[in-house]
Amino acid sequence: MPNETILEMKNITKNFPGVRALDNINFELRKGEIHALVGENGAGKSTLMSVLAGVHTDFTGTIIMDGKPAKFSNPKEAIVHGVGIIYQELDLVPEFSVGENIFLADELQTKGLGRIGLFSRKAIFAETRRILSGLGFDIDPEAKVGSLSIGEQQLVQIIKAIRLSAKVLVMDEPTARLAHDETEALFKIVKLLKGKGVSIIYISHHMEEILQIADRVSVLRDGKVVGTVARASTSLSEIVQMVVGKKLSDFITRPVIAQGEEILAVNGLAKAGCFSDISFRLCCGEILGIGGLVGSGRTEIAHCIFGADKPTAGEIFVEGRKVKIRSPLDAIKNSIILIPEERKNQGLILNHSVMSNLSLAFLRIISKYQFISGRERRQSAERMINRLRIKTPSLNQVVGNLSGGNQQKVVLGKWLPIKPKVVILDQPTRGIDIGAKREIYGLITELAQNGSGVIIISDELPELIGLADRIMVIAKGWKTFEFKRGEVNQSQLLEAVVSQEKIPAVQC
């Protein structure tokens, strides 16, 4: 039956000290349905799924699976009853093979060896090959997981879950680290599982993905279900308004900003085997968007301008003056900063405090005779927290414990006191919720209004169209298109980004 209910969560309420995380939530999942669960960070999505997975057991309400009441005392019980969860951070052993990871929880026992506990690697690899073939993928079962692409690792994680007979599969931000083609491959797998009767709860901040793949969408806000709508009868604007209570048109808009003199010029920049002959100009107050597929050379261009990578050809001028940028320190001295794509690995010291991270870039400014002024450090951090509305219990909070949006504000906030002339942002809103995106957009606009030249690299086409004065498209290491503001819509930009025919290939 197409509308057969496989899971009901009725009147689910969960409290943490001083906080009601879930407030009388009702949620229904049908057999063979892809049901998207959306909301800002802190809305209750992860807590609700942790209740379902047996992580949180001290809740009130009822869980019903296959028409019978169910309450799982731990995650293992949830798995046994057919609930599988694929978290954003993959739970795989890089040094183990694909087959070993898939069968890690319960290896195939060998027969006839006379020992209990031994397993047949041959049997594991054969069964893994059969499963992969059934899904239409050609991955070596004996390959180490650490050698695979992120998309292939994601596939291994999915197979690991469904092999344990998952009836309900929860996918938490499954495309956050995937390239465009890997995302399309994932969607094929999801639809294949749907066809086999697996019910999927799909958590994502990417609204366009949800409208492409979901059957229904449930929106959580402040621990409550705001509403559930059929994907076929809703729109992006309606979902955004449900999530934050504001229209989409209130998000990616900005005033006209008067542009000043040229602040950055890049002439014939190239990196052998990665990109070639990249030239562009950037003025004070201008926002330049860079679009392209993952691997097109976008990020490598940014790294060469910032000095993190060494170009093999080309020239860089700042305010008409030719500069040599051999390292990030050279870039910073020339007032060029980079907000990297991997904020956790490259933009923050995760086990340090918010104050420590916010003051990293301007310690020289607040130090005298090699002594750092603790008072000035604290005051500056407090000003930045207030200015950027960073949500943190205290200055001493470990930055790794903040939400993705607040971490991104810290990465940006550490640079603002030095008043950069050129700001490069690589995927500035990846993995953060809609409300945090709105605030980041405001900060980008503020940077341009204050005279900085801003470069944004983004996979999100509405972001580029809404913010950029110009959009430069990079494909296979070459500049292929350039659009002025108002010249291109989303479908046209997507066509330009994915169209790579008759373009010389440059492999990164």
> Per-residue pLDDT tens for 276-296?
999 999 999 999 999 987 778
Which DSSP symbol is given to 107?
A: P
In this structure, of 131-145, 212-226, 232-246, 369-383, the range with the lowest mean pLDDT score is 369-383
Q: Is residue 391 part of a domain?
A: no
Angle, alpha carbons 50-180-437 (nearest 5°): 60
Clarify whether residues 264 and 184 are in a common domain: no
pLDDT tier, 316 (very low <50, low <70, confident <90, very high otherwise): very high
Which DSSP symbol is given to 73?
A: S
Q: Is residue 376 part of a domain?
A: no
User: Which domain-ending residue is among 246, 279, 296?
Assistant: 246
- Token pair, residue 369, equals 């005779």
| Residue 182 scores a pLDDT above 80 | no
385-419 tens-digit pLDDT: 888 888 888 888 888 888 778 888 888 888 887 78
Clarify whether residues 227 and 278 are in a common domain: no
Clarify whether residues 240 and 256 are in a common domain: no
Closest to 249 in 3D by CA, of 37, 80, 465: 465
Q: Is residue 154 part of a domain?
A: yes
3-state secondary structure 439-499: HHHHHHHHHHHCCCEEEEECCCHHHHHHHCCEEEEEECCEEEEEEECCCCCHHHHHHHHHC
Q: Is residue 399 part of a domain?
A: no
Clarify whether residues 36 and 68 are in a common domain: yes
Q: How many alpha carbons fall within 13 Å on the CB side of residue 466?
A: 18
151-172 tens-digit pLDDT: 788 788 888 877 766 789 998 8
Q: Is residue 390 part of a domain?
A: no
Clarify whether residues 154 and 259 are in a common domain: no
Q: Which residue has the higher pLDDT, 393 or 369?
A: 393
Strands (E), 88-230: 168-172, 199-203, 216-221, 224-230
Q: Is residue 201 part of a domain?
A: yes
Clarify whether residues 425 and 480 are in a common domain: yes
Rounded to whole angstroms, the Cα distance separating 238 from 250 reads 13
Q: What is the pLDDT of residue 335?
A: 93
Rounded to whole angstroms, the Cα distance separating 253 from 213 reads 27
* CB distance 450 to 439 below 8 Å: no
The contacts of residue 371 (CB under 8 Å, 6+ apart) are none
Clarify whether residues 224 and 302 are in a common domain: no
**Rg, C-alpha atoms of the chain:** 25
Q: Is residue 207 part of a domain?
A: yes
Clarify whether residues 324 and 197 are in a common domain: no
pLDDT tier, 255 (very low <50, low <70, confident <90, very high otherwise): confident
Q: In whole angstroms, how far apart are CA 309 and each of 53, 271, 272, 282, 331?
A: 43, 9, 11, 21, 12
Q: What is the DSSP string of 177-191?
A: T--HHHHHHHHHHHH
Instruction: Extract long-range pairs of 401-406: CB within 8 Å, 24+ residues apart.
Output: 402/354, 403/41, 403/42, 403/432, 403/433, 403/436, 404/41, 404/343, 404/431, 404/432, 404/433, 404/436, 405/41, 405/432, 405/433, 405/435, 405/436, 405/437, 405/439, 405/440, 406/436
In this structure, of 23-27, 64-68, 86-90, the range with the lowest mean pLDDT score is 86-90
Clarify whether residues 71 and 127 are in a common domain: yes
| Residue 352 scores a pLDDT above 80 | yes
Q: Is residue 111 part of a domain?
A: yes
Identify the three-state secondary structure at position 46: helix
User: Which domain-ending residue is among 218, 246, 274?
Assistant: 246
User: Which domain-ending residue is among 246, 278, 304?
Assistant: 246
Clarify whether residues 287 and 327 are in a common domain: yes
3-state secondary structure 381-418: HHHHHHHHCCCCCCCCCEHHHCCHHHHHHHHHHCCHHH
Identify the three-state secondary structure at position 93: coil
Amino acid at 328: P
Rounded to whole angstroms, the Cα distance separating 404 from 444 reads 17
* CB distance 15 to 51 below 8 Å: no
Amino acid at 353: S
Instruction: For residue 86, give the H/E element and its range.
Output: strand 83-86
* CB distance 486 to 463 below 8 Å: no
Over range 370-380, report the average pLDDT. 68
* CB distance 224 to 192 below 8 Å: no
Clarify whether residues 54 and 182 are in a common domain: yes
Rounded to whole angstroms, the Cα distance separating 330 from 306 reads 8
280 is in which domain, residue-wise?
251-335+419-508
As a whole-number percent, the residues of the chain with pLDDT over 70 amount to 89
Rounded to whole angstroms, the Cα distance separating 408 from 421 reads 20
Q: How many alpha carbons fall within 13 Å on the CB side of residue 144?
A: 6
pLDDT tier, 325 (very low <50, low <70, confident <90, very high otherwise): very high
Q: What is the pLDDT of residue 379?
A: 81
* CB distance 219 to 39 below 8 Å: yes
Clarify whether residues 322 and 461 are in a common domain: yes
Provide the CATH number for the domain around residue 125: 3.40.50.300
**How many structural domains is the chain composed of?**
2
